[in-house]
Structure 1
């Protein structure tokens, strides 16, 4: 667990660093290591990456994109067949990794970015690309092997894939975008404070995970890229395409588009909230590329002026976006962070490289790692007194458990992580066979046929609506002890006093101590 958790962060940083070196230097020079380092920190320690670190394989998606682009660039620039075979093999491994993450909301949007990067790498090497017959044969052989391996995974997982494609959510999702506040595009700095100060839920975002962003300094990268192209009187192809990606997904996320156009562009599985991933990565790429292009063209006075104005705008934007969260003190902190980060990107002088960039990097590192504090280890998962008691009861009397009440869906996942057979854990694919026992006619199938967090609510009398939808990815099942037994449940962990409630033909027997407000019960059937 420790290796898996830490290695993902290390590899993500190294992959991002090599990627930014690749896009900041057209001739594979390495004179822009400083800005590439800052870019890698902005990716690896981004609030969005850290808050989503263990969910939906986001680090793996980004690693796959970064590594594959670096290898593709080197494949086209190298003529030695052995090297090319190695590069092609790594590219195919990355392709498999990206494909099998199976999260279209991010895959499709990041796929647009990947396509643009591939196109720009081809344009970079156009006129110098040489593919020998030997290279072609090796590549075809690797493709065949790749298809066999990926095909075996698809065949063994075909039932799961079909189940996901035919869910009410997210399989049947028909997104047209829209609804993302435009101000959120320039207020990412404030999300650095989420590990240190509770974020109050508002009408725009539901929690810290959903509100988290990449600190991408939008639109500074675009402004610098346009400035560089105007000054050189030459269009930078990579910058222009990256700006196009940013513009496209900004419009989709904030304004939306007709359903027919969303279908044509294959964006119906992409929600506005998930667009922030591709926007953040593309904006940071534009920023790194632009900083490398205009390297040395701004004096330190000009850099300071731009830094001051831009930092002031970002500080205001963060205050306006998170009005009740970012007060006067945090506005000043936002100004300082945005200012230092902007100066580190704008100026390549000794002070920026040796003082400002390290300070910014340490700050981002502290914020990022504070989301997932490694010093706690796995004890919060494995050493919870409540769960340890359930484990002990489970060993004495094996049987399925149900976790009662609205927050039971989260606790159920903790129980499963400790090897406890639990009814209402997260259903990545819907368990139709189980829920059909309560709904043989499919009356509520639209509710439970989805990726969902499942909450259990124990009631005295059979409910008119056994299933109720709480959110697109959450539903509650209202059940009596008789219905729980139908589902195969023997024990219930509940904050309710179930032994004091009246049930028809059933009762609950207390079998353990009340810990953290929850008591374990066994279902007892009366003859």
Structure 2
């Protein structure tokens, strides 16, 4: 008997040892992926700054052993987070909002953002300053050369709704420019509140860091309502919020507001306290205004369908609860609730109408432009980018053949596995919620790959949606459907369910999907380190299969999904945008001191022109100079018509446009070289007509002095010279 027990103990120890070895082996896969990924990225950072001749600001990355340091830090961080979540998961879940808000406050306090304004250290001579981590992205020019500079410009304007700085003329910044201002519309743009309350640098950090923290929290809670699994909801949140698509676009408000609406509706319905319901209903009305004021229907329309469906699910469940024996667990709907909701919606609608009325002139001008003008899409052009969801993970340090990573960046969504698995679930179990989500996905796919007749596009509002913009909503739904299917597969284990084979199908599907991704990877000839990427993707595929298989079989997988989220979601996402501390590349330059010196001495009637550069034109406007060739978010037709004989070139400048101005040209001319750019050649008479007093240029303009025009050099900074014109 004793020998038998001893043998059993030995077998148990051996099995336990083998399991621990297997467990460690699984965790080695994502860690290996992360280490290879980060070593490639650190080398890429070093090569990038070596090319432009800069020393990296972070001293840790200047050392030859930077790769080893980052690798060690990564291992310690990942293991620490895994252990923390495994042992304190309930504590972290209970206080997730407090923890998230603390992280956001610390990020704002330290002025941490993901802005690429560090590009100005490269674009301006004698202005060397680099981010703490990563590299600024030249692709993000609309952020660091337009949007961020507009916000800085508003700080010189007292955040007034009408600016005399931008365009060098009276300019409505409320609707079209989307700049921070003391106006009704800003009530519905909470991302901009930081600029008004804390100033430019803290406001920039608030717009980036606080938004990202909120997005992670809201995405987790919203996914948990649908998926009913904390580990899978956490994975959904990380893969979504740190996805290449969201990080390259530097946005995400559409999912922040939409998912928050779903959560507030759930809170309003499933509460036993009237005051909580009233607050939630008021917040719903406000968030509806926030969603509308995004003013980007290409994403608003498809995501409206998604979040409306989620709202229907919560409302239906509430009605079922009222009809069941559990009806006393929630508060019944009353006329007071209807009155509060309708009243709040009417107030929001009134404020939105007031905002549109105040900016009606600017909006009318935009609608009548050549670009962007009116849009009408019928789809049908196809969306092959959906099948290469893994390739975009490598765009942080490898360039695709296209010039714009934003256009082809995707979410790590395992397409089309989620759609196929959810169809199987519906066939076997008649899950109507899953059916509606899958039907909506098929609706989007039909628009993308087949196309709609014009009348159907108009009826469904899909005429506002270019096919490429469907990458976001389709990727969102696909990831959600895939994780729901994984949860259904887990439920089917051991209970003789009619979808008992779903787990096998999911694993086989993962293997086939992985094989297809490997084929795409090997076919992409432009990729520099294809073999390393192949190794990384094999690690990703193996870990995906093992982790989801373990979860489906009922194993404890919290640590696995934390490793999945960090190594395949957070780390690649944090390598896309830089970690920028403060805004020194634009707020601490010699050019700023030069511009401020003469802006303070003159009023807005003395106009400025920047010769040969639309980016520096926007930078001077950010410093408070009324620059006429700063980006025209809507055209200043009166100005350009005044120097365009018979308005012959109105087609060139009647658009949203960056403006390149060349001064002292022999004749006046306009030339539109791309949709959002035109070049204007200005003669001496044009400068006089436009009341231009200051010209910033990298050329020597004194040679154009004459008896009728005196040109005096006022100073120079960062490779540019400021001239004063006296007529």
| TM-score class normalised by the smaller sequence | 0.7 to 0.9
> In the TM superposition, what is the alpha-carbon distance from 1:322 to its structure 2 partner?
7.0
**What 5-or-longer segments of structure 1 have no aligned partner?**
26-31
Partner of 1:493 in structure 2?
A: 696
**What 5-or-longer segments of structure 2 have no aligned partner?**
1-202, 323-331, 494-500
Which of these two proteins has the greater Rg computed from alpha carbons?
2
| Structure 1 contact 170–269 (Cα < 8 Å) conserved | no
> In the TM superposition, what is the alpha-carbon distance from 1:69 to its structure 2 partner?
1.1
Partner of 2:408 in structure 1?
A: 211
| Structure 1 contact 216–283 (Cα < 8 Å) conserved | yes
Q: How does 1:220-231 map to 2 (within 5 A)?
A: 220-230=417-427
Q: Distance in 2 between matches of 1:474 and 1:346?
A: 52
| Structure 1 contact 35–345 (Cα < 8 Å) conserved | no
Return closer, same or farther for 1:191/1:415 CA change in 2, 3 Å cut-off: farther
Q: Distance in 2 between matches of 1:22 and 1:121?
A: 9
Q: 1:445 and 2:646 equivalent?
A: no
Structure with the higher helix share, 1 or 2: 2
Partner of 1:268 in structure 2?
A: 463
Partner of 1:369 in structure 2?
A: 574
Partner of 2:384 in structure 1?
A: 183
Q: How does 1:87-486 map to 2 (within 5 A)?
A: 87-128=280-321, 130-180=332-382, 182-197=383-398, 199=399, 202=401, 205-230=402-427, 233-295=428-490, 297=493, 306-320=509-523, 323-324=526-527, 327-341=530-544, 344-345=547-548, 347-348=550-551, 350=555, 352-395=557-600, 399-405=606-612, 408-439=613-644, 441-458=646-663, 460-463=665-668, 466-486=669-689
Return closer, same or farther for 1:304/1:504 CA change in 2, 3 Å cut-off: farther
> In the TM superposition, what is the alpha-carbon distance from 1:66 to its structure 2 partner?
0.2
Q: Distance in 2 between matches of 1:244 and 1:21?
A: 21
Q: Distance in 1 between matches of 2:305 and 2:707?
A: 58
Return closer, same or farther for 1:522/1:281 CA change in 2, 3 Å cut-off: same
| Structure 2 contact 667–683 (Cα < 8 Å) conserved | yes
Return closer, same or farther for 1:184/1:507 CA change in 2, 3 Å cut-off: farther
| Structure 1 contact 116–242 (Cα < 8 Å) conserved | yes
Q: 1:68 and 2:261 equivalent?
A: yes
Q: Distance in 2 between matches of 1:352 and 1:503?
A: 79
Partner of 2:244 in structure 1?
A: 47
| Structure 2 contact 378–462 (Cα < 8 Å) conserved | yes
> In the TM superposition, what is the alpha-carbon distance from 1:11 to its structure 2 partner?
0.7
| Structure 1 contact 337–360 (Cα < 8 Å) conserved | no
Q: Distance in 2 between matches of 1:121 and 1:184?
A: 33
Q: Distance in 2 between matches of 1:504 and 1:316?
A: 71
Q: Distance in 2 between matches of 1:339 and 1:266?
A: 41
> In the TM superposition, what is the alpha-carbon distance from 1:509 to its structure 2 partner?
4.8
Q: TM-score, normalised by structure 1?
A: 0.84
Return closer, same or farther for 1:411/1:501 CA change in 2, 3 Å cut-off: same
| Structure 1 contact 312–335 (Cα < 8 Å) conserved | no
> In the TM superposition, what is the alpha-carbon distance from 1:38 to its structure 2 partner?
0.7
Q: TM-score, normalised by structure 2?
A: 0.62
> In the TM superposition, what is the alpha-carbon distance from 1:501 to its structure 2 partner?
6.8
| Structure 2 contact 380–452 (Cα < 8 Å) conserved | yes
Aligned length: 503
Partner of 1:29 in structure 2?
A: none
> In the TM superposition, what is the alpha-carbon distance from 1:14 to its structure 2 partner?
0.7
Provide, for residues 57-113 of structure 1, a one-character-per-residue CA deviation record: whole Å limited to 9, x for no partner: x42221111011122233333454323212212211210100111122222232232
SS state at 1:427 partner: coil
> In the TM superposition, what is the alpha-carbon distance from 1:498 to its structure 2 partner?
4.3
| Structure 1 contact 20–288 (Cα < 8 Å) conserved | no
Q: Distance in 2 between matches of 1:340 and 1:80?
A: 45
> In the TM superposition, what is the alpha-carbon distance from 1:168 to its structure 2 partner?
2.6
> In the TM superposition, what is the alpha-carbon distance from 1:41 to its structure 2 partner?
0.7
Q: Distance in 1 between matches of 2:406 and 2:709?
A: 41
SS state at 2:343 partner: helix
Q: Distance in 2 between matches of 1:355 and 1:175?
A: 43
